[in-house]
Structure 1
Amino acid sequence: LKRVDGGRGFLQIMRGFELTTAKREHYHAALRGVPYPVQVLWGEDDTALRVDDFGQRAARAAGVELQRLPGRHFFQEEQAPAIAERIAALATGTAQSSAA
């Protein structure tokens, strides 16, 4: 993350996170009462946005079961096939879903 700029770009991104109630509600609205299927997938070993905190919150907001996959913050880089399977199951109506 430090690369050429000594980490300045990463720090700028991190400082840009807004932690207000209004921002949280904005994110939750994208998950609640929407006319499309929603699932919440999260990396089990994410140390930036921990699954037991942020993942659980997202699942509760969506009213779905949290689906944990092996991996860290960018777990999609390692779990692309598993994620694709979950998306396909959701799209075809064969995904398992229950309220968290």
Structure 2
Amino acid sequence: MDLPVEATISTVEPSPSARWPGSDVRARIVDLGGGSTSVAEVAARLDLPLGVARVLIGDLVAQGYLRMNATLSESATIEERRELIGRTLRGLRAL
């Protein structure tokens, strides 16, 4: 699954019942999916290498725990583009 670093994730409601402890990194990723969090922000907040975060998020999307939200289209406004760039830069700086 191709996960752009700027793509945001959200938790699927209702999500399947988790089979891992709350301290597991997958549970922490699902918790972060409650907001509009980008792949880069997840990696930064959990101190994970970006590649590891992408694989884990991809697995959680495939398993039905998370949804990957579409990134900007060609018709996006300048303000939407600025917001996306700002979120991406904040996530990358935190890495």
What's the TM-score, normalizing by structure 2? 0.27
The one of the two structures with greater contact order (alpha-carbon pairs below 8 A, sep at least 6) is 2
Q: TM-score, normalised by structure 1?
A: 0.26
| Bigger radius of gyration among the two | 1
